[in-house]
Amino acid sequence: MALKYKKELLQAARRVDESIADIQANETWTRIKLHSVSLERYYQPIKNKEGLEKLTEDIKNAYPTIDMPTNPKWLLSTEKLEERSHTMAHSSVIITLRNKKEAEWICGRGLWIYGKHHSADKFVSAGPDAFCETCSSWGHATHRCERATKPACRLCGEEHLSKEHRCLAEGCGVSAGKVCKHLKRKCCNCSGNHTAKSDECPRKRAAIKAGR
């Protein structure tokens, strides 16, 4: 598509999203999550755009060939990021890349930025059928859980992370987070005699239907 009115389109796009650096013909971009990003260096509550522009600059200084059509964005909402900044030193950002192979390369190796290594993985938008591994509820991803201090096991419904579930039966050697013959299944969402991810659960069926 010929961008005959590129300047006008770019100005209009920036009124919606200031992070847009340029516009090109129709492309498919890939988004990834970059972890352990310094809040002290890049998070500026008043001038957040400037903080993320600094991150873009640091990435491009370290990796000049990386093609990012927009500046990174924080994974968390503004409110949650503000809360996190008082207790944590790092958070995650979403990076948009034009080149899918470049995104896969970063996910496999991570990035060294400003002397620190950052792991990365593919970004997947959460819909109504997203399952949270912290509270075992449907409708939001794990990183957006508002019940991080009150986890729920998807196996037994008790207040612990699913990966920390252990059988208390004497002599049971099944590893933590695994199902054994002694498991008393209980769904933390509907109180049914099944696990939270069971196809029997009406909450799961409703979430899957909403996600279609």
What's the helix, strand, coil split of the chain in %, to 5? 30, 15, 55
- Give the pLDDT confidence of 155-169 residue by residue, as tens digits: 999 999 999 999 999
DSSP letters along 42-70, please?
Answer: H--SSSHHHHHHHHHHHHHHH-TT---SB
Query: Can you tell me the distance from the alpha carbon of 139 to that of 132, in angstroms, rounded to the nearest whole number?
Result: 8
Which of these, 141, 164, 158, lies nearest to 80 by C-alpha position?
141
Contact 118, 35 (CB under 8 A): yes
19 CB-side CA count, 13 A: 20
- Give the pLDDT confidence of 120-136 residue by residue, as tens digits: 988 877 678 888 989 99
Cβ neighbors of 145 (< 8 A, separation 6 or more) are 132, 134, 135
Which of these, 54, 45, 60, lies nearest to 19 by C-alpha position?
54
- Give the pLDDT confidence of 52-87 residue by residue, as tens digits: 999 999 999 999 999 999 999 998 888 888 888 888
Write the DSSP symbol of residue 174.
P
| Confidence (pLDDT) at 74 | 92
pTM for the structure as a whole: 0.56
- Round the average pLDDT of the chain to a whole number and report it: 87
CATH class of 27-122: alpha beta
| Confidence (pLDDT) at 95 | 95
Domain ranges of the chain: 27-122, 126-166+182-212
| Confidence (pLDDT) at 202 | 95
Cβ neighbors of 36 (< 8 A, separation 6 or more) are 90, 92, 116, 118, 119
Q: How confident is the model at residue 19 (pLDDT cuts 50, 70, 90)?
A: low
